[in-house]
Structure 1
């Protein structure tokens, strides 16, 4: 399909319209200078949780090197890709950007290893899920405004965050998500807006590209080992044909930028095909569609899964990464156990929060406190409370 006609389109009828938002939990007067979704974006950018992403692990702990992605730089890359896809398809760029910027606010320190550690400790109390935790941050834990807790984002922004991975069914319907979503008034069935779907697929694109880049930089694999994956091998052959004799650093960067381009162009083309087939009249048609509107083609979806399989084998399960993440998970497990057993070990404001209810409220307050930590702060607290703390290198 010719993608050119989809570039720089005016806002489509199926796009989220800030003038027709379902509104906010606490009604507020409109801004004289910004749309509702622009206000959402700005509130996320100015939040404490967003700043903390600077020192939260993506794959490598923040002190392992200045050039590796952090949760913050990953988020910014997702936002850029989400805006590009939204612009090409006539969607609201500001809502797509908002969901992209907010989607990882609930991540614990040390990436998915930290999430698994907290989920294990919280299993008797509803579990821990970073999507649900992002919604807790946005609706309760950020305390900046005089009139409400959280950021009081629009319904569409909250829906996009909680449905970041699509409609919530099966194992994804965790007790933590059910509890937070029901309190926030976000229905769990159906798709989120096309803008939220653009942010979700942008997350996959950013992961694939920057983890290849970071894995090469860390020496976890070499460029010639990427030839095991058909798409990466094809792109490397394309680079080598155009730039014979290019040094490996530049070959790697050319590979990464072409991975992004291929995935983005395919997502736009396949999404355009689905839009033409469905002919959605408004955002409700997007929500009730039988399948996601923003997606890769079947061939590219399989190619993208192949890249993830390669990264899982060569990077996420690499002996060095496994060892560091196991030690990091132990740090958070230690902290949870100490704070849960001894409320006085918590800072005063969190000790008060933990004491407001029963055992479940206590556990949730401990999880909220730990989830909000940066990697460095978690290590500092562990050194304060325990005789030995792993170096995580």
Structure 2
């Protein structure tokens, strides 16, 4: 199905055309094999970096492309429609560049061209084994010792663990609660920073997260991002944009499932006609298409608020909630359209369904999104 897009400039259309060409050439042919083997596609991310797709929403003076968020998110959507793990990796990397871009010192910002160009891959270390959703209760601690912070603790579910070149480490430098949290920019070669074995996942196997252990890891004090005690605010600001990235991932994945199901339903014949002509299947596909279009409209609306400099945290939570729930429904229904073949690994829809589930969990579970939205309603 052709997606009709209203884009702000001709340059934006050219960018999406470039993304589509790259995705068809570099992503689609490799996705199934890399997922089956659990192989991390670092070379693909370097290719996207050289094409300028890893720094799209950041200013040109620091190596970015100064693209509106609504354009960047549509790039993410296109990538996800060919290979979700790559789109999620781009979204996480973009999220990982945010602390330095928005709060970093002049010295730290010198790293941005390599970050945004893809030479340095980032990871975002917020979640912990005992407190994924309760980020303000994190226990990883950093103690000042001369010119260093000594970091001890464990982070969990870290995308790019073991592959990243830099880690944003949210750790406790003060007392309990969010005001005691700071952000450190740790080099991957830091002694005592130890990525663990990748998690065994039902989907996204080519980009499986892992725990990262910090055993008295010494991070130079000049790698403190922002001020001490500012880490929680940095983390939450980054997550607002990150949630829109996941919403765009969900829409791309759902679009891929819809397109595959429609193509199959046009070709598959039962009772003397293509199954798409049978009302039961036709109505199911119509509902799937409506869910995809509604989810796309919701994330684009939130992105336009962000681009206009207006508050968008609640709208980001709504977009992430709706789009990822929609992706779960659409991919499940795509399996149903294919019947027994949908349950076979010979068709990609079973992988799409497995992958959709994680999107309801990452960047804040959908229960957390409902909490964010309901609290906004209570404030009025």
State the TM-score, normalized to the length of structure 2.
Answer: 0.30
Higher-strand-fraction structure = 2
Larger relative contact order (C-alpha < 8 A, sep ≥ 6)? 1
State the TM-score, normalized to the length of structure 1.
Answer: 0.30
Higher-helix-fraction structure = 1
